[in-house]
Amino acid sequence: MKTLITAADLMARVLDAAPPLLFDCGFDLADTDAGERNWRAGHLPGAQYLHLDRDLAGTRHDATGRFLGRHPLPERAALAVRLGQLGVTPRSAVVCYDAQGGPYASRAWWLLRWMGHDDVAVLDGGPAAWREAGGALTTEVPALLAAAPYPQQPAAMAVIEAGALQTRLGRTPLIDARAGERFRGEVEPLDRAAGHIPGARNRFFKDNLAPDGRFKSPAALRAEWLPLLASHPACEVVQQCGSGVTACHNLLALAHAELGDSQLYPGSWSEWSADPARAQAAG
């Protein structure tokens, strides 16, 4: 499992002698307890809950007090410990899901790949697809099968920080995963200023989905993404959004389309716009 798994395939996999570890990553930026409440109200059998703020992000300020964005990457050592507490080992198969179209599950997918874990996928269509395929939900809280901290190894996914991105503006394709009205600066419900990083192009993460809430086919994604890459290989492209979360949905779409892995700007617009000295654009 590298990118997506269908509900039917997951149903077959959960009958394996070593079934996948399941993680419910549902979240609501406006109500940060909603995801966990929904998990307790009903989740895929065996699924543990991963909270965006507690498990999939780190502290918002560094030791000097500098703001790193609303959802900076967790410290690798802390994430290794947390993965071990959840029973993740290098031999584990992992499936992540959410009910919001995949952005939070994609963040978990990206973080696991960043840690060097290969056998991880997002449930295409989330719990709705599971139910449509005949799967049941449960309120039973599964027991933790704790393991040692996940083995430390070099980061397997590329990131770029604000200073390095500043020097490459205008020379590196930059894709913003936010909704169009936020990208254009017409509204800004979350961050300090409205607008976008100069030179960025907009690819709303939900454009990766078909009307049924599942990802578009690899061929369709390739056709839509290749013009955005502007003849650059994916590895030269920077993906960002509001806080480094929905950009992971675009990264998953690229990987599913077999176009390769881009760089993630984890701080994204939330970090960039917090410094009035950085150039900003609108429209």
Which residues are the active-site residues?
241
Tokens of 172: 């590196």
Helices (H), 169-267: 180-183, 218-229, 247-256
Residue appearing with tokens 């690819």: 203
Which residue type is seen at 282? A
Exposure on the CB side of residue 197, measured as CA atoms within 13 A: 33
DSSP-assigned beta bridge partners for residue 239: 175, 264
Q: How far apart are CA 254 and CA 158, in angstroms?
A: 14
Q: How far apart are CA 250 and CA 26, in angstroms?
A: 18
Q: Are 263 and 160 in contact (CB under 8 A)?
A: yes
Closest CA to 107 of 156, 51, 46: 51
Provide CB contacts within 8 A for 59, sequence distance 6+.
68, 72
Closest CA to 120 of 136, 106, 138, 140: 106
